[in-house]
Structure 1
């Protein structure tokens, strides 16, 4: 008997056991900093306050009118387990179309039982990855989970501030908590403003992610072979002390269309992260009194990471993400120097105005295309 579209949707969700991923991440996540109940309450309240205070500053720096009214999304202060669960919800939205297409192309090749077993294995593996990441992320704007059928999130999305990680880092750096929290919120609220200023951006990114994941899942027959080759390559590069590239997981991409999709997403992410970094770096001591100390100490982090953590970060492409912050910030500053913030803000008008990856590395190309 042939599968129906509904069956395909159900099996697609079963390919990754999202609930198991969330529970595995909660179980494996490293313990956070030691805080009493009163300290937790104070930190949560203060983070919410800093999130509110940061919005007018984002408006002043970016000139984006969207920063005047952000009621279409919410700000949540969460722990590591809640952050991981929120990301399983986002991943479910992002990967559902590609998984359904994969199953449709393999109709009858995978029984519900096989899908369930596969889902448990994949869910456990994803949970382990999220457990590692859950102790590294300070904040994240999530525009996708609101698209889930059973979502109770505001229509535009939600901003997650991971309280234990923010407290842990401010303690490690020995910086003023209120200053550090405001500094972090400036970056994260900028992401919230970006998606409010460009309401088309969420579906544009979702379409590109769908294209990329469809290629990966569509080539599932060679995925294991490519994964093994990528892992060997990463091990060799790590041993030789050479640059890790974009990360072993992204090294799985071979098809020109896959690489084109990745290039576009890389450019968009570089833009978003770089713009947020420019905003947080635009403040002075009148807004964040100890900002100079915070910048110096925060930028010096990571030099003493252990071998295992460095390997995992390379595998996941996290160091490549850090380069996105740098590359994107250089692009934003170069454009603003020539066209001003108003000229730069044309990137939020339409997908056609988004920079390409070559343009991220050479802002003159984007400026010429925009008529400057």
Structure 2
């Protein structure tokens, strides 16, 4: 880790865009220890086995026809940063198309690049696994991807005092549930992209499209909640202790880290987990898993914000 080199990369930000993406990536990596990729004998096969087992178990439970992405990588933190630069650039591209450069574009670019550096470095040190549906990709033929950030998985398992092999398997099952969702709902990527673009475009024009962001939040709540539902039914081991320890770890964060996570929207993600999980538990208790899976019939089948808090309303609507 070299903080001087990181600051130097940010200070050297150049180009015509709001963010110098190459400088942001270089600075984030300079500020982040990459971690080890010295795999133990059989470890690579263990990752592959976990993904295969998760695919078969989730297919059986959900009835969804899907496959895991062609790209499945075991990464260090620097690999994750490089893999996600293109995703961030695509998402921010909509904003850049509408943004005004201002009187001091060079200063704004340096500030924006520094902000993105902090974001990438923080996430690079904390992301455990990632299913990437490649939202806003230029080509529809681009493959989805599945990443495991090995140093972060081992570090989290050690801090949580859990078996690293079991923890790795749990992460694999969780990420493969997301592959199942996008496989069951081919329209989901376009729906998320459209609402994201609408919201960002409105912000760029100085307004706030409340409906776009509410729809995006509701859809992501369904994505996270359904993943939790499948985990409950597909994972081949008890993991209540893992949830308990992860929740305790979140509660034990310092005030600055909690604030930073809130600014990054990670607090929202945790709320989506809980809210979505409660919705699907209520639906399954009232009906069954097959009924819960009807959310993937089309965008009109997604629960509204009111229905997420009152699952009975959603059940009544889909029964009509």
Using the size of structure 1 for normalisation, the TM-score is 0.74
1:192 paired with 2:140, answer no
Q: In the alignment, does 2:163 pair up with 1:176?
A: yes
Aligned partner of 1:207 in structure 2 is: 194
- Counterpart in 1 of 2:10? none
Match of 1:251 in 2: none
Between 91-100 and 268-277, the greater mean CA deviation after superposition:
91-100
Alignment of 1:1-372 (within 5 A): 14-30=17-33, 32=35, 35=36, 37-39=38-40, 43-66=43-66, 69-70=67-68, 73-100=70-97, 102=98, 118-144=108-134, 147-148=137-138, 155-219=142-206, 257-283=208-234, 287-288=236-237, 291-371=239-319
In 1: Cα distance, 2:43 partner to 2:141 partner: 24
Rounded to whole Å, the distance in 2 between the matches of 1:315 and 1:42 is: 39
Q: Which secondary structure state, in structure 2, belongs to the residue aligned with residue 37 of structure 1?
A: coil
Any idea what the Cα deviations from partners look like across 1:212-271, whole Å, max 9, x if unmatched? 11122222xxxxxxxxxxxxxxxxxxxxxxxxxxxxxxxxxxx5x522222111111111
> Match for residue 246 of structure 1?
none
Aligned residue pair count: 307
Is the CA contact 1:139–1:159 (under 8 Å) kept in the aligned structure 2?
Answer: yes
Q: By how many angstroms is 1:355 displaced?
A: 1.4
Q: Which runs of 5+ in 1 are unaligned?
A: 1-11, 220-254
Note closer, same or farther for the CA distance 1:320–1:364 as it changes in structure 2 (3 Å cut).
Answer: same
Tell me, what secondary structure is at the counterpart of 1:89? helix
**1:295 Cα offset (Å):** 3.3
Decide whether aligned partners of structure 1 residues 174 and 19 sit closer, same or farther in structure 2, where only a CA change above 3 A counts: same
Q: What is the TM-score of this pair, normalised by structure 2?
A: 0.85
Does the 8 Å CA contact 1:83/1:162 hold for their aligned counterparts?
A: yes
For residues 94 and 262 of structure 2, the distance between their equivalents in structure 1, rounded to whole angstroms, comes to 28
Q: CA deviation at 1:183?
A: 1.2
CA drift of 1:302 comes to 2.0
CA deviation vs aligned residue, 1:59-115 (integer Å, no higher than 9, x gap): 12222122xx335x4322222122222222112222323422x15xx6xx769xx65
Structure 2 unaligned blocks of 5 or more = 1-14
Moved segments of 4+, more than 6 Å:
none
